[in-house]
Structure formats: C-alpha cells, structure tokens
Chain A
Amino acid sequence: MKKWVLLLSLLLSFSILDATIAERGQTEKINDSIKKSVIAIQDQDYEQALIFIQEAKDLDTKNAEIYQMEGQILEMLGKNEDAINAWENCLKYADSDSLKNEAEVHIKHLRNK
C-alpha cells in the first residue's frame, strides 16, 4: 500500500511539472506568433499577419487580444463578415471594459456598412 501511494505521488508531481513546462512552451509559441504577426502588419502584409495571428489563436482560443488583432487584420483585408465573428469572440472573452467597448463599436460599425 505504501509503495502505491509513493508511486502515485511521484507520478502526480511529474505530471504537474510536465504540464507547467508545456504551458510555458505554449505561451512562448503564442508570443512568437503574435510577434511575427505584428512584424507583418508593419510591413502591411496583412495576409501573412492573418496566418500568424490564426496560429496564435489555435494555441489559445480564449484570448480576447488575439481576436482583437484578428478582427483588425480582417477589416484591413475587407473581410467584414469574418471580422464581425472575430470581434464577437473578442467581446465574449474580453476582461476589460475598454476592449469590450472597442469590440461593440466595431461590430456595430461593420454591421451598418
């Protein structure tokens, strides 16, 4: 019985450690994709910026700031329907009132176009 408890606790501690390392790796990957997207935006290469921001979105599907960037990029590409979806997700996951307000303004503006 003692052995099993020890073995289980060891397994549990290793899995927590493993999850922490994986999470850190994921955050780095998200930041890297955002960085690449920002560089593409500065080069006015919005198609490329969209690919990178969608990579970041695949890794974190509940990040309002990623949806905000996706919405802005899609607007620059004239893909207004997709932009509305992105802003709706931004509104869904946003914590701050300013980001919620921005999403609402964009949704209303795009729907009225």
Chain B
Amino acid sequence: MKRLLYILFIFIFFSCTDKPVIKPGFEFSKVKTIVVYPTPDYKSFAGSGSIINKSIVYHLMKMGVNVVERATTPALIKEVTLSQTGITNNTINVNLISSDVVLLCTITEFKDYNVIVIPVITENKGSIVTTVKTVDEPIISKDDSGNEKIYYETTTTETKKSDEGSLTKTEKIEYDPSRVGVTIQFLNASRGDVLWTNSYWYSSLSLSNAVNECIYGSLKPLKKLLK
C-alpha cells in the first residue's frame, strides 16, 4: 500500500510539473546535427507551421547546433527505414547518422491578438429626495387665573424632489493578447524513439513576439544538454 502511494505521488508530482521529459542514458552532447521536419499548420491558420519552423531553426542555430531543415514531410518511420537501406525518395538527401536527432513540432495553440469591445450599460435607477423642515412655533395662552403659558407647536413640511433615472451607454475595451503553444519532440534518427519532449506556451502583444518567446522558452532547457 505504501509503495502504491509512493508511486502515485511520484506520478502526480511529475505530471504536474511543466519541465521537459528526457530519456535517460542518451548523450545529447554528442548530437552533431538536428534535422528539423516541417511543422503542420495549426487548424486553419495557413503559414503558422512555417513561422514556427523558421523560429526553431533560428533558436537552434543560436545555440550553435548544425541544423538541417527538411523541405518535405515523409513519415518518420518511412524516412528512417529508407535511410537505413540507403534509399531515400527525397530530392534533398540527408544522411541520418546515429548521433543525429530529428525534431518534430506540433502547434497546440496559435492565436493572433483580439481587441474586444464590451458595451457597458450603467443604470441610474433615479431617486426621491425628501427634505423635511421642522419649525417649532411658540404659542402663548392664558389659564383661568390669568397666568401666561408657553408651549411649542411643531410644524413639519415635506418637499419631495424626484429624479426619474437614466441609462448611460459606454464601452470597455480589452486587449486579448496573441498566444502560441507548441509541443516539441526530439527523436532518435536511427531508431525513432523519443529522446526529449517539452510543451510550452507564451502570450504577447504581437504574434511574432509570442512565437519567438514560445520557441525560445521551449528550447531553452535543451541548451544545457547540448553543451
């Protein structure tokens, strides 16, 4: 029972963290070339895959990695099989060797900014202001023996002033920033097994900056491994 709870804790702990997952035993420092495959477009956002790819290539090259960008997208397994037999149906011939890795990216989010106009209707329900004026007037009277008696009579006057109310229409503007999310996988070029994977998202006022920051953030943990 204790062991089960321990396994459950480890599972929950690792599933909650957003750190990349690394296959133990693989020597990333020996990687000489990373082959970047084309990223499919996100839903109907034409060109999104290409934008992401260019950013991936830029950030990998900044890390000092040799990058090969593939122009076509054959299925990875087919590619690996063909490369093993020495036949490849691509015009750009890339010799995959065991120290090379293949990078695959999936766009999980790709959204440009939005300006949202929210109509705000302020209702003034109106009011009734009642002004009460109280005046104490002295009244002098005489009793049977002729003595004067003073008593006060209070007079109250009420004035009512009503405001019927109104509706005021204004608008509130909200800026919904651009948001980009990706999942990046590194695969062993010769065997096809996953070596490293990371998911990341970022938001920014501009789409190009969201792409740049998202790719930067997703690939940053790799920098230490490749050194």
Contacts from A to B (Cβ < 8 Å): 2-3, 6, 10, 13, 17, 24, 28, 31, 34-35, 37-38, 41-42, 44, 46, 65, 69, 72-73, 75-76, 102, 105-106, 109, 112
Contact = CB atoms under 8 A, between A and B. Distances in A.
**Chain A residues touching B, majority SS:** helix
B106 to A, nearest CB: 19
A28 B170 contact: yes
Interface stretch (B64-72, B80-88, B189-197, B201-209): B201-209
20 contacts: A2-B134, A24-B122, A28-B170, A31-B172, A34-B172, A34-B173, A35-B171, A35-B173, A38-B173, A38-B174, A41-B175, A42-B115, A44-B206, A72-B203, A73-B205, A75-B204, A75-B209, A76-B209, A105-B202, A109-B202
Contact of A6 (B134, B205, B213): B134
A72 B115 contact: no
A2 B134 CA distance: 9
Interface of B: 115, 120, 122, 127, 129, 131-132, 134, 170-175, 177, 201-206, 209, 213, 217, 220
Secondary structure class of chain B's binding surface, majority of residues: strand
B176 to A, nearest CB: 10
